Amino acid sequence: MAGKREGGAPPPAAAGDARPTLKTIAFMTGLGVTTVSRALKDAPDIGEDTKRRVQLIARQVGYRPNRAGVRLRTGKTNVISLVLNTDEQLMGFISDIISGVTEMLAPTPYHLVLTPYSSRSDPMDPVRYVVETRSADGIIISQTRPEDARVRYMSEHGFPFATHGRTETGIEHPWHDFDNVVFARLAVERLIARGRRRLALLAPSPALTYHRHMTAGFAEGVVEGGVTDIPFATAWVDQPIEEIRRQAARLLARQTPPDGIVCGSGSAAIALVNAIEESGLRLGRDVDVVTKQSTQLVRMFRRELLVVDEDFRLAGRELARAVLARIDGQAAEALQTLAVPTAVVGGEDEGAVAPTQARAALSS
């Protein structure tokens, strides 16, 4: 009879007829559905040869678990929600974070879903939606604040999450961060070594936790180096580039302008350079700028820029690793990592290897 094979066994779904199922793989391997399911989950009681055969066939036929079915059986969605401000389009930040997260999720059953919001909306809204609807098993957030309401909310609801950046809530939670204290100190030290004595800091928004870290490192470096701090509180790296350029032009037009600037982001550094050059000054001769960079485009823009690398792909991988471990019940204190910069590249170090970021697991 058409549609039947010898012995009455149903054939696997024909191409274009339906999505492959566990039954499709069971038919093709001659194994039971339960065995196939456990092999795909890497169960320890299934032989390695069987696992490899099942997983190979699953890839070949394009098998994907039915998320609705998985949720009905297990209560899980196999989804990680990455909640990002859509205004964070700075120098590949979003694409690099996404790349890092998806790289870590690739060998797992989990899928990434981007949950966007804008600066004009409440950052609690997307988090509250995911938690209330249980539309994901874990959440990753960024732009943390010292007293972050999102962290408190997810902790109170027992919802697994990880944050890009630390908080001062007193709540132990998974996080990955870049050591902005060390970054600012390294930057100040390099500027002083280049003979700069009047230094300014273009920091992140005062509302964010890493503003405190960066300003603390900068202040320590200035005091220890015995140089002058030129206040620059009218701009921060989160502002539109044109506003940064305008405020930087005013800074450089002061009676006592800075001859060295520490900048908290690569995109903001481009605005600074534009203001320097429009002011008739020369980058690297009249003014030095030390900036973070997450892409080589910053140095390609102006080789005179002094840079410290910040690896957002690393951040994505660490955040995904942390939230998966939290879903599995690991303690939050063991899921906190800090990327520590080691050097400033540029100037007399032209051609040097870019700084590395060492991962250090921290405990409270």
pLDDT over 90 percentage in the chain: 63
Q: Which CATH architecture has domain 6-64?
A: Orthogonal Bundle (1.10)
pTM of the model: 0.77
For the domain covering 180-309, report its CATH number.
Answer: 3.40.50.2300
Here the tokens at position 76 are 């899980």
Q: Which residues of 131-141 are buried (b: 16+ CB within 10 A; e: fewer)?
A: beeeebbbbbb
Q: Could you tell me the residue ranges of all domains in the chain? A: 6-64, 74-178+312-340, 180-309
Helix (H) or strand (E) run with residue 19 in it: none
Q: Which DSSP symbol is given to 193? A: H
270: left (phi over 0), alpha (psi -120 to 50) or beta: alpha
> Which of 184, 138, 67 lies closest to 330, judged by CA?
138
264: left (phi over 0), alpha (psi -120 to 50) or beta: alpha
Q: What is the pLDDT of residues 242-274, one digit of tens each?
A: 999 999 999 999 999 999 999 999 989 999 999
Q: 14 pLDDT exceeds 80?
A: no
> Which of 195, 94, 68, 81 lies closest to 132, judged by CA?
81
* Range list of β-strands (E), 136-195: 138-141, 161-164, 175-178
Indicate if the alpha-carbon torsion angle 330, 159, 111, 13 is positive or negative. positive
Write the single-letter amino acid at 228: T
Q: Comparing 108-117, 154-163, 296-305, which segment has the lowest mean pLDDT? A: 296-305
- pLDDT at site 12: 47
pLDDT over 70 percentage in the chain: 85
CA–CA separation, 144 vs 162, rounded Å? 11
DSSP tally for the chain: helices H, then strands E: 13, 12
Q: Comparing 42-56, 86-100, 182-196, which segment has the lowest mean pLDDT? A: 86-100
| Assigned fold of 74-178+312-340 | Rossmann fold (3.40.50)
- pLDDT at site 93: 74
> Which of 341, 352, 320, 338 lies closest to 161, judged by CA?
320
Asked if 6-64 and 180-309 have one fold, the answer is no
Q: pLDDT higher for 79 or 347?
A: 79
- pLDDT at site 69: 57
Q: What are phi and psi of 165, to 5 degrees?
A: 120, 155
Confidence grade of residue 67 (pLDDT, cut at 50, 70, 90): low
Indicate if the alpha-carbon torsion angle 226, 177, 166, 305 is positive or negative. positive
Confidence grade of residue 3 (pLDDT, cut at 50, 70, 90): very low
CA–CA separation, 113 vs 287, rounded Å? 43
Q: What is the pLDDT of residues 178-220, one digit of tens each?
A: 999 999 999 999 999 999 999 999 999 999 999 999 999 999 9
Write the single-letter amino acid at 303: R
